[in-house]
Every structure is written in C-alpha cells, then in structure tokens.
C-alpha cells in the first residue's frame, strides 16, 4: 500500500528510491522488501525542504518501518 504523506518537494524521490531499493536488495536479496525500503526512503525525502537531507538508509528503514511497514 502507498504511504500517505504531505509532499513538500519531490526533488530526489527517484534517486532516493533507487538508493534504498538497491541497498536493501544487496543486503537481503528480497525484491519485495527492497521495494518497501525504497518507497520508505523516497517518502522521507519528499517530506523535506532540504535538497539533500542528511539521511542514511538504515535510519530511514528503522523510522519508516515502525510507522508504515
């Protein structure tokens, strides 16, 4: 299911999705889990006014997993 959030700026959403997806895929080998992590990573970026929010995939995975996954 989609994560419902207030979009502030979509800049970087695709790049952050790709980073989260690939990092998770390499770590877990599970493409479904990787897609969830990619979506969670992108969801964090689109809610920020910063063009380069200081995030790591591990931080996003933990934060969004507790909220949505």
pTM here is 0.72
Percent of the chain with pLDDT over 90: 22
- Among residues 9, 15, 4, which one has the least CA distance to residue 50? 9
**Which of left, alpha, beta for 12 (phi over 0: left; psi -120 to 50: alpha)?**
left
- Among residues 29, 28, 16, which one has the least CA distance to residue 64? 16
pLDDT at 51: 64
The terminus-to-terminus CA distance of the chain in angstroms comes to 9
Active site residues: 15
Quick one: average pLDDT of 19-26? Answer: 92
Under DSSP, is residue 49 helix (H, G, I), strand (E, B) or coil? coil
């Amino acid at each position: 299911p989609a994560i419902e959030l207030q979009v502030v700026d979509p800049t970087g959403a695709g790049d952050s999705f790709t980073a989260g997806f690939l990092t998770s895929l390499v770590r877990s080998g599970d493409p479904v889990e990787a897609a969830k992590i990619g979506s969670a990573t992108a969801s964090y970026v689109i809610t920020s006014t910063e063009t380069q929010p200081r995030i790591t995939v591990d931080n996003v995975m933990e934060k969004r997993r507790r909220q949505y996954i």
